[in-house]
Chain A
């Protein structure tokens, strides 16, 4: 555990501040002026109808996309070339053509972990997500749920301060979904800020402390999860929850 004490000795990444962020692709405006602040602590869940811009917002925050206008500012900047302090898990896990263990040690290599320590830390991460026995298996022959757990093991080994998840269980059956949600909860318990996009309202309820509701590229409402799901204040949110808006 000493390693991430070093990381955290530096100033924390959060809070993340977005100011008047706009994102356009050609003529299409996908994010239409969002200002918000993400603080450490609560698990943030982003929901909204299809095309609302949830995935794009996530990628803007994580740095995979750059805003067309506006600013996205972290409290501290990551050291260029240093280990990533934020991570992302995608709907379909992207794994290398190697063993499960190899995928995790690869991430550790990128994080600058010395060669001798990689395998042990990778095994520990695999055990944490319940894949301890599958280390030598080829990552590509694992089931969908196992692959997503492997992606999370990869995250676990890195101990990031922020984890973005883009509909991580959308392709999984309920059993696998349950396992993934457990891992996410464990990560949160270990100190990682969770920012999750989902279209599964039950999941939003189980995993969310606060809900960000996106509608047509704007932040339509933001509230603690319980209150939002029972008593949304915006009309778009109300319609969405009632199922009138398309998924």
Chain B
């Protein structure tokens, strides 16, 4: 009985410790799974936290979910890569101002055997046309994420009406980036991925990067403070500190310094106009 009582006491203390978590200085940032999975946050956030003492808690979701989270007031800052959706967010009055931060790019992945013969090309639209013409297997994320939206825009730009052109070759999986890559690897299919997730992805199978560098593949990131007038609990000062740091020379350098296998993933462009 003594053992049980002591164990119960220890348990109770642990619960109490859990509940009495110190009210640290922290902000909640809603961002996307692909950004988190690239490892960027694990690299740049400790630098910010050391400098300011503010802990940044990132909740990583799909772009749509991240914005919805912010609409409910459950985040202080939103950091996503879907300009149209972000501007809609601002128009609705949920955000204060959008600051461009950085861009990364998408790359077209595909099997080394390359049935559509697009390897080494510099034109993404040509590549997509060739894939559709060859009816080569293509995996789409299908989850209304930023990547998915970008993919749909590219098909449209290539003049392909997916509703008509869809066939067994187009695999709409409804998955995140990692699982979609896994699916593509097992099917030996083409897919559009962000460079960060691709570089960190280990389960490549027979896949390789086939098309990159087309300006149309660029993926712009923007950061916004959630509107404290609409959501009174937003930590506007701490949140603004984070945003200011991201666009500052120091923050931009931290972003540029992040590399996987010696390769830079994200390209800071805070001062750039029109992005």
| Complex: A in contact with B (CB within 8 Å) | no
